Structure 1
Amino acid sequence: MSQQPLLQVKNVETFYGKIQALRGVTLDVNEGEIVTLIGANGAGKSTLMMTICGDPRAAKGQIIYDGKEITQMPTHEITRMNIAQSPEGRRIFGRMTVMENLMMGATTSDPEYYEEDLAHAFELFPRLHERQHQRGGTLSGGEQQMLAIARALMARPRLLLLDEPSLGLAPLVVKQIFEVIKNLNKKDGLTVFLVEQNAYHALKLADRGHVMVNGLITLSGTGKELLAREEVRAAYLEGGAH
């Protein structure tokens, strides 16, 4: 595995008005890795994900993708750089069909790959193939999450940003979605940055992980190392807190 960082976040600070949400966050995501960021609700995880995409902007620090600084770039330009995001809360187009949602995801990629990418999405998520003419808003939560990930993949990303993919889903569906993420990484070589409250699944899957508390990264290590840490187990794994 190449150790050239595909994404570098350096001392990033982000504010909502006068409230500081990120306090000097530094992390790397190397090409071909799954890196996860865990933490309680409101820790700043989703803010970091959105800051990488330029909304909100980083007030201080740098974000570098594939050797190019993107800190001040507009969001629409960032999405054209082979970065795709599956946002928290899924945010699919409820009135559009599954097919129309997938077409929206493909707008930044080369049209010649459309049929191939569509076949790949349906292979990953056979349920979407069955539901392709159904409106997104009528799908179950799990199906909507599958659609959000498939829509992001239609952009042919080199870096996939996944924000809380397991949120509110049944354990069986969570297992299925994490299996797909694992296969995308292992078989397709996709680099994944995963923000997740479900620490157990996320750390089991990840090459490396970080723990965020109040906008600060407080612990870093391999997925296995963090799973074994007493303080991680106590805060995020025991008593079914997340």
Structure 2
Amino acid sequence: MSTAGANIAMQSPQASAARQPLLSVRGVKTYYGNIIALKGVDMDVNEGEIVTLIGANGAGKSTLMMTIFGSPRAREGTITYAGKDITKMPTHEIARLSIAQSPEGRRIFPRMTVFENLQMGASMNGLAHFDQDLERVCTLFPRLKERLQQRGGTLSGGEQQMLAIARALMSRPKLLLLDEPSLGLAPLIVKQIFQIIKELNEQDGMTVFLVEQNAYHALRLAHRGYVMVTGNITMSGSGRELLEDPQVRAAYLEGGHH
């Protein structure tokens, strides 16, 4: 596999040539002040795929996720979603386009109950299908069903992550952006979270863009993956190709993630 990766980026069987990118990032540059964080990123997420972005801490993964959502804004390049240019769109308008984000650090509302947090997620579509969606996320996350009246801040880290994902799902997104869902969680909880992401994709056909430091789990789950190093995409390929690539193994998989 070439490190440029462009020639193999679309070869996985799940990503047929007929698929149109649901999300397309082209030449995106993002700055913090005068410091360039993203150096011209090109990336596609096709409808019905799980695509993961891996890389070391500080590589720019979360910056890309936040740039897609309009904060910070891309200074150069374009971001399109379902054929619509969203590069300059305000964050609250992007959220109404059936894109939901579960940000890094599980930013739930700690003083609100689990139920109220889920209401906040559903408010994006005017609580139109609230009861039905509540039942759905309680089936996906039985732990949350037991804690509906508990304040978010009193939940364990794993439960807070489940709540962050469930809150995002309440808006019925076509595209789910997940930023470091496994961060700081026990291995058993990480397995549960990744299993739920897989179910959402396979059973509901949900498109998922996953930013993740746990390269082993992320690449096993993903149809396709990208590797980011200091603000540049350096490799891309199917999840399996990247898992088996010696450079990826040496940089991100040594130390036996299982």
Matched with 1:230 is 246
Looking at structure 1, the residues matched to 257 and 60 of structure 2 have their Cα atoms a distance apart, in angstroms, of: 18
Matched with 1:31 is 47
Looking at structure 2, the residues matched to 203 and 196 of structure 1 have their Cα atoms a distance apart, in angstroms, of: 9
Matched with 2:73 is 57
For residues 135-188 of structure 1, the C-alpha deviation after alignment (integer angstroms, 9 at most, x for no partner) is 000000000000000000001000000000000000000000000000000000
Give the aligned residue type for 1:117: D
Looking at structure 2, the residues matched to 187 and 90 of structure 1 have their Cα atoms a distance apart, in angstroms, of: 25
3-state DSSP class of the match of 1:147?
A: helix
3-state DSSP class of the match of 1:112?
A: coil
Q: What displacement does 1:57 show? A: 0.2
Q: What displacement does 1:239 show? A: 2.1
Say whether 1:3 aligns with 2:19.
yes
Say whether 1:190 aligns with 2:206.
yes
Q: What displacement does 1:111 show? A: 2.6
Looking at structure 2, the residues matched to 42 and 3 of structure 1 have their Cα atoms a distance apart, in angstroms, of: 32
TM-score, normalised with respect to structure 2: 0.92
Matched with 1:136 is 152
Matched with 1:146 is 162
Matched with 2:172 is 156
Q: How does 1:56-135 map to 2 (within 5 A)?
A: 56-135=72-151
Looking at structure 2, the residues matched to 119 and 71 of structure 1 have their Cα atoms a distance apart, in angstroms, of: 35
Looking at structure 1, the residues matched to 44 and 157 of structure 2 have their Cα atoms a distance apart, in angstroms, of: 31
For residues 193-215 of structure 1, the C-alpha deviation after alignment (integer angstroms, 9 at most, x for no partner) is 00000000000000000000000
Looking at structure 2, the residues matched to 162 and 112 of structure 1 have their Cα atoms a distance apart, in angstroms, of: 24
TM-score, normalised with respect to structure 1: 0.98
Matched with 2:195 is 179
For 1:22, which of 34, 38, 47 is the aligned residue? Answer: 38
For residues 80-118 of structure 1, the C-alpha deviation after alignment (integer angstroms, 9 at most, x for no partner) is 000000000000000000000000001111433111100
Matched with 2:8 is none
3-state DSSP class of the match of 1:73?
A: coil
For residues 34-90 of structure 1, the C-alpha deviation after alignment (integer angstroms, 9 at most, x for no partner) is 000000000000000000000000000000000000000000000000000000000
Looking at structure 1, the residues matched to 238 and 257 of structure 2 have their Cα atoms a distance apart, in angstroms, of: 22
* Distance change >3 Å, CA 120–CA 241, structure 1 → 2: closer
Segments of 5+ residues of structure 2 without an aligned counterpart are 1-13
Asked if 1 retains the 8 angstrom alpha-carbon contact of 2:60 and 2:230, the reply is yes
Say whether 1:47 aligns with 2:87.
no
Q: What displacement does 1:237 show? A: 0.6
Q: List 4+ stretches of structure 1 deviating above 6 A.
A: none
Matched with 2:229 is 213
Q: What displacement does 1:240 show? A: 5.2
Segments of 5+ residues of structure 1 without an aligned counterpart are none
Percent identity between matched residues is 72
Looking at structure 1, the residues matched to 33 and 142 of structure 2 have their Cα atoms a distance apart, in angstroms, of: 43
3-state DSSP class of the match of 1:84?
A: strand
